[in-house]
Amino acid sequence: MTGLIQVLSVSFGVLLIFVGVAESFFIRDRRRHRFFLADPQDTDTVRLRTFNLGFYNVIWGSGTIVGALLLGGTEAAAGRTLLLFTCVAHVILGAILFLSERRLWASAIAEALPPLVITVQLLA
């Protein structure tokens, strides 16, 4: 089961890093405005917010990957703790995202469902 948890965790971490890079560096790309629900005329206004938010996601994703790697090594308890923290946080953040902006329901599911599965597996 540890292998499955690690694969899911690394995959989720990579997804968070990908989204973080997109938020930080590609907010001005018109092809991504629909993804961010950003109006083209507002990108300069929200750029600072999305730049910082993107790096939050990169850090969360890195923590998830580190937790997955620790889980399979000699520091399994530390990996489990780190994974539980990052995954429970993202289940909550996904719910908040959905409640705050229903149009982002797919993003909310992507943010909450994988860490929910990981959390259930870690606690089983």
How does pLDDT run across 16-47, given as a tens digit for each residue?
A: 999 999 888 887 776 666 666 666 676 677 77
Average pLDDT, the chain: 89
Q: How far is CA 14 from CA 40, 43, 77, in A?
A: 27, 25, 22
pTM of the model: 0.86
Which residue's entry shows tokens 């690394």? Answer: 10
Q: Where are the domains of the chain?
A: 2-123
